[in-house]
Amino acid sequence: MKIPLDQLCVRSGVLCPRCEALVKSSAITELDLEVMKVLLKTESIPDYKFLRDSEYIRSVNLGSVLIVQLNTPSIGVDQRSLVKLSKHLESYFKTRVRVVDAKNASTKDLVRNIIQPARVLGVNTLWLPDGSMEYVVRIPRTDLKHLPASQEDIEYLLSQIVGANVRIRVMES
């Protein structure tokens, strides 16, 4: 697995000066260290061999759910494998985990994976007069209570992952 720190440092728990500087600068958090350590152990399990060719991006804890963002190889990884990995990680972290493939998923699939069990009615691309764009995610009002975190937290997280401003619009059913 490709990770932003040295594998030896993460496995041993003793960080070299370069890795220590990344942690102190907050580019890598303690949560990232924990998740990377578990993922490095998990990649030796035959069911998760796709992790060997994957790249770890980051983890975000939204309170009731932990989002783990990976770039997986385009061949041989389906949604069931990511769900199985999520269940495996839940046993370590004792909270709900969502593994998100940021590289191979469309914006709508990415949004759906993060806000489930809430339903996505649609994802619209809004082009602004200044040439920038933002995404508007439409969800039913009845599913607002099913969001895994607050609406603002999810909008911020999605904006970070997608690389463009994301707004959630609540629609009447």
Sheet holding 55-61, edge to edge: 55-61, 65-71, 96-101
**Identity of the residue numbered 104:** N
pLDDT at 79: 80
Domains parsed from the chain with CATH numbers: 1-103 (no CATH), 106-173 (3.30.300.20)
Which regions of the chain are under pLDDT 50? Answer: none
In this prediction, residue 60 carries a pLDDT of 86
The pLDDT value recorded for residue 168 is 93
- Is the distance from CB of 90 to CB of 42 less than 8 angstroms? no
Query: What is the rounded distance in angstroms from the CA atom of residue 156 to the CA atom of residue 173?
Result: 25
Residue 158 burial (10 A CB sphere; 0-12, 13-18, 19+)? buried
Report pLDDT for 163. 81
pLDDT attached to residue 104? 65
Structure confidence at residue 100 (pLDDT)? 86
Neighbours of 52 (CB within 10 A): 11
Give the pLDDT score at 38. 93
Q: Which two tokens stand for residue 158?
A: 């999605």
Predicted confidence at residue 159, as pLDDT, reads 86
Number of C-alpha atoms within 13 angstroms, CB side, residue 149? 19
Question: Residue 113: what pLDDT?
Answer: 83
User: What is the torsional sign of CA 13, 16, 22, 24?
Assistant: positive
Query: How many other CB atoms are there within 10 angstroms of residue 51's CB atom?
Result: 23
- State residue 39's pLDDT score: 92
